[in-house]
Amino acid sequence: MNFFYTFLLVGIVEFLKFNPLGYVPVLVDGDFVVADSFAILLYLEENYPQHPLLPKDLQKRALNYQAANLVSANIQPLQNLPVLGYIHEKLGPDEEIPLAQTHIRKGFATLEKLLENYAGKYATGNEVFLADLFLAPQIDGAVRRFNVDMSEYPILSRINEAYKELPAFQDAMPGKQPDTPPEARA
Amino acid sequence: MASGTGEVSKKLKLYSNWRSSCSCRVRIALKLKGLDYEYIAINLLKGDQKSPEFLKFNPLGYVPVLVDGDFVVADSFAILLYLEENYPQHPLLPKDLQKRALNYQAANLVSANIQPLQNLPVLGYIHEKLGPDEEIPLAQTHIRKGFATLEKLLENYAGKYATGNEVFLADLFLAPQIDGAVRRFNVDMSEYPILSRINEAYKELPAFQDAMPGKQPDTPPEARA
């Protein structure tokens, strides 16, 4: 499947028609629109079965769902732009990073325990699955934006090094996108 | 699957709290699929979720946790997908791939964009840093934003229930969230006609009503329905 990078310079009003919540990402497939990364990933998995994102084993699938949702519901929404903006406004800029770190560190500690008996080269074994797609960006953001010390998370540190060897992951990272500002370009 | 000795087939256990909307989602699913389970109450206000025994089950310290034989699954979204894949009776997802995506979106709107921003730990943080008077307004802000989005998302799809005339995954997330919004956070539902209407439909379904906070083994007397 070809991924086009369609660079739509749309105004906010147009974008909100796609996703009333006003969040990215939004996927448009023909005339069907899917918002929310978790929903998009499951949609892609169900519509484009090549390179499966989920293992066949039902318990391993459950493990991937857990790890994915740990990031999706228990870390990321508690340190995204709107939440940080609210904290900035109510408590001041100095509270932003500590709060983000608190949520990230709690989530990462939980992930270390969750993956303890399962992690291999990647999060849930020796193949890349759904959990890895959630972990790689979260770890990248934790390090680059929130200065989280990864030395306390040996499994996450190790698999993060493995992600750095994968072109599919590296090409997707923030530093390499069409809209990456010059100062952030990798 | 019965064992050779004729013992009871592997039993499901659910670590649950009466008021937890995440636990309610799973309770509904278990009822719809006709699955018996042992209800193990976790008292969140007393801190049961922080005990070493429970943290072994779920290091995050959240309910619900499902135990299926010797396999443990935490996180309601993961549990629901696990139940769907292991116990296919009364499917929680439609066959149509676009309708499935719609259900995933609605479910995750609640799961990632509303509930985590108004759960006990977050409210406790706000209480501590900004005072008790900021708790309900903050919860209402997130709920109202999410509900307004759901109204738009479901506009062209809702029927008797969220995504048509059958109960699917989205409904399992919406029913507890709407219940909590009304009972705990005093959200005025009149601005959300679709959600109001489907909520009335949920009240007619025993699987939903039996799963609600007012009817659990650990419901305190003053909250019993």
CB of B59 within 8 Å of a chain A CB? The answer is yes
More confident residue, A163 or B123: A163
Could you write out the three-class secondary structure of chain A? CCCCCCCCCCCHHHHHHHCCCCCCCEEEECCEEEECHHHHHHHHHHHCCCCCCCCCCHHHHHHHHHHHHHHHHHCHHHCCHHHHHHHHHHHCHHHHHHHHHHHHHHHHHHHHHHHCCCCCCECCECCCCHHHHHHHHHHHHHHHCCCCCHHHCHHHHHHHHHHCCCHHHHCCCHHHCCCCCHHHCC
Chain A: residue nearest B66 by CA? Answer: A62
Question: Which chain B residues are within 8 Å of A82, Cβ to Cβ?
Answer: none
Asked if residues B36 and B12 have their Cβ atoms less than 8 Å apart, the reply is yes
Percentage of residues of chain A with pLDDT beyond 90: 80
State whether A32 and B73 contact (CB < 8 Å).
no
Residue B174 near residue B182, CB atoms below 8 Å: no
**Is the Cβ of A26 closer than 8 Å to some Cβ of chain B?**
no
Q: Which residues of chain B lie closer than 8 angstroms to A43, CB-CB?
A: 97, 100-101, 104
CA distances from A30 to A51, B67, B104 (A): 21, 41, 19
| Nearest C-alpha neighbor of B28 from the set B218, B147, B205, B214 | B205
Q: What is the dihedral of CA B118, B124, B130, B131, to 10 degrees?
A: 110
- pLDDT tens by residue, A86-121: 889 988 999 999 999 999 999 999 999 999 999 999
Contact A73 B111 (CB under 8 A): yes
* Interfacial B residues in 114-143 facing A (CB < 8 Å): 115-117, 122, 129-130, 134
CA geometry: angle B175, B57, B183, nearest 5 deg = 25
Residue A1: CB atoms within 10 A of its CB come to 8
The tens digit of pLDDT for each residue in B203-224 reads 999 999 999 999 999 999 999 9
DSSP B134: G
ipTM over cut 0.90? yes
Structure confidence at residue A1 as a pLDDT band (50, 70, 90): very low
Q: Number of H helices and number of E strands within chain B? A: 9, 4
pLDDT for res A56: 97
Q: Please judge whether B71 and A59 are an interchain contact, meaning their C-beta atoms are less than 8 angstroms apart.
A: yes
Task: Find where tokens 């484009």 sit.
Answer: A48
Backbone φ and ψ of B132, nearest 5°: -60, -25
Q: Over the stretch A115-170, which tens digit does the pLDDT of each residue have? A: 999 999 999 999 999 999 999 999 999 999 999 999 999 999 999 999 999 999 99
Residue with tokens 């949702």: A69
The single-letter DSSP state of residue B17 is -
Tell me, what's the pLDDT at A4?
43
pLDDT in tens, B40-97: 999 998 999 999 989 888 887 889 999 999 999 999 999 999 999 999 999 999 999 9
Cβ(A96)–Cβ(A29) below 8 Å: no
Confidence of residue A22 (pLDDT cuts 50, 70, 90): confident
Name, in order, each residue with C-beta under 8 angstroms of A170's C-beta and a sequence gap of 6 or more: A163, A164, A176
- The answer to whether residue B177 scores a pLDDT higher than 90 is yes
- What is the helix (H) or strand (E) element at residue B74, kind and residue range? strand B71-74
| Subunit contact B109:A77, Cβ cutoff 8 A | no
Residue B197, number of CB atoms within 10 A of its CB: 14
CA atoms within 13 A on the CB side of A62: 21
| Nearest chain B Cα distance for residue A117, angstroms | 13
